[in-house]
A and B are shown apart, each in its own frame.
Chain A
Amino acid sequence: MKRSIPRFWQSSFVFIVVVGLILLAFSGYLGTVLNTSLSPLVGIQRWISSRYNAVYEFITVPRDVASLRQRNAELEAELALLRTQVIQLQQQLAEAQSLYALLDFAREQPQNQYIACAVIGRDPSPFLHYIIIDHGSDDGIRHGMPVVTESGLVGRVDAVIAQAARVQLITDPAISVNVRLEKAGVEAILSGSLTGDVSLEMIPQDVVVEPGDLLLTSGLGGNYPPDVVVGKVVGLRKRENALFQSASVQPAVDFSGLQAVLVIVNFRPVDITPLISTSTP
């Protein structure tokens, strides 16, 4: 057997190569060499990986679409449920806020006793402005009792049955409320109308009335307790040849969104009809 290269030289060659590589690594030249030599390998690896992923997706995607659709349907159903819950919670929150406001108002007026009632209906005739509340004579509600909210005067109880009552609003064309202009200290009469607009009548000509002036119940006539907020003046109608001036009023209560009211049960209205003489002597 012929030995062409002695073993010593083989070992020396390997040693020199290893030492050379180590020196190259320490000197920083090995990275360049490795990058240059490995870049074709990385490219090949990338190509193989992309082909593999393409084949894998081709095989597995139909199953994923089905599962995704199912998951999407589940999430949509869950979303619809959550939206329903959000709406319900918003409604409950609005009711709670309304009731809290009424409760705060009742606490601020300790001289009055209130019964909180829910509004359960409106008069079927569009000519009349009445609401129906869910408490009646069984709860101590009587004819003529004033009805308020935390914002102000709503009206008065017009008719009562055992478990419900009908309330005439201050916007009804048949109602008249004796009020007082807070700033001027002058009494006037508040009237409703067919369209729900409220106006202030019988204001003396010499009284200065300005938009924004607050209206309170005067207590005259005995139908309403005094100093309940009714609304504010928004416009004035004054004619030179008229005995009185009138004003349009914005009620303090929003009657379109009325959900709950307070009936003042310790106020007894006074019927002064017998004192008003209708016959002339």
Chain B
Amino acid sequence: MVQTSIISHLTLLHGSADLVMLVLLAWLLQGRVKHGWIWALLSGLLIGFISALPLFVPLFAYIVLYALTRMFQRRVWQMPVMAMLVLTVIGTFIQHFLTIVSLQINGVPIAFSEGIKFVTLPSALLNLILSIPVYVLVVDIAGFVYPEEVVV
């Protein structure tokens, strides 16, 4: 709801932030979160249901992001904020690449260069700006949902 009613209005050139992807990434980067793929699946289905994009685009993009998150957790697990920033950029590009390809297959006249210049790069910048506050918020929520066990 926040994404469709508020975030979609806040545009830079023609790009807008993807709050769902940012929350998903931040949530998947929490070490205590189990069954992250379910959240990726649910987020993809939700966006696929609301958006006019083909269903597989957000679904596939978020599943790929889940896989990337798992990989980053193993390799740069000591710097989750860095992982968040890198994954935000990668996630934006993956999602927009899939979107452009799917729209072109469906006969929509969209040029790659135009899409990258006017939509993807501004969207990546907005996502980067929002990624840190979203990460901090999700860390707090994760701490509330999964309180740390105290060994007595």
Contact = CB atoms under 8 A, between A and B. Distances in A.
B56 interface: no
B88 to A, nearest CB: 15
A125 B57 CA distance: 11
B60 to A, nearest CB: 14
A127 B50 CA distance: 14
Given A174-B108, A194-B114, A124 B4 contact: yes
A122 interface: yes
B1 A121 contact: yes
B52 A126 contact: no
Given A166-B52, A194-B110, A194-B119, A124 B3 contact: yes
Interface in B49-85: 50-53
B110 A127 contact: yes
A73 interface: no
Interface stretch (B10-18, B25-33, B129-137, B138-146): B10-18
Contact of B16 (A121, A126, A130): A126
Contact of A159 (B4, B15, B52, B118): B52
B119 to A, nearest CB: 5
Interface residues of A, number: 21
24 contacts: A121-B4, A121-B8, A121-B50, A122-B4, A122-B5, A122-B8, A125-B51, A126-B11, A126-B15, A126-B16, A127-B96, A127-B100, A127-B103, A127-B115, A128-B51, A130-B52, A166-B52, A173-B109, A173-B110, A194-B111, A194-B114, A194-B115, A194-B119, A196-B14
Contact of A124 (B11, B20, B114): B20
A45 interface: no
Interface string A102-146: 000000000000000000111111111010100000000000000
A209 B8 CA distance: 36
Interface size class of B (residues with CB under 8 A): 20 to 34
A168 interface: yes
A127 B109 CA distance: 11
B17 to A, nearest CB: 9
A124 B51 CA distance: 6
B99 A127 contact: yes
Interface of A: 120-128, 130, 132, 158-159, 166, 168, 173-174, 191, 194-196
Contacts, number: 76
Interface of B: 1, 3-5, 7-9, 11, 14-16, 18, 20, 47, 50-53, 96, 99-100, 103, 106-111, 114-115, 118-119, 123
A138 to B, nearest CB: 18
Contact of A126 (B4, B106, B111, B119): B119
A128 B106 CA distance: 13
A97 B83 CA distance: 49
A204 B15 CA distance: 35
Contacts of A174: 103, 106-108
A123 B5 contact: no
Contacts of B15: 126
Contacts of A128: 51-53
A113 to B, nearest CB: 26
Given A128-B51, A194-B119, A123 B14 contact: no
Contacts of A191: 109
B109 A124 contact: no
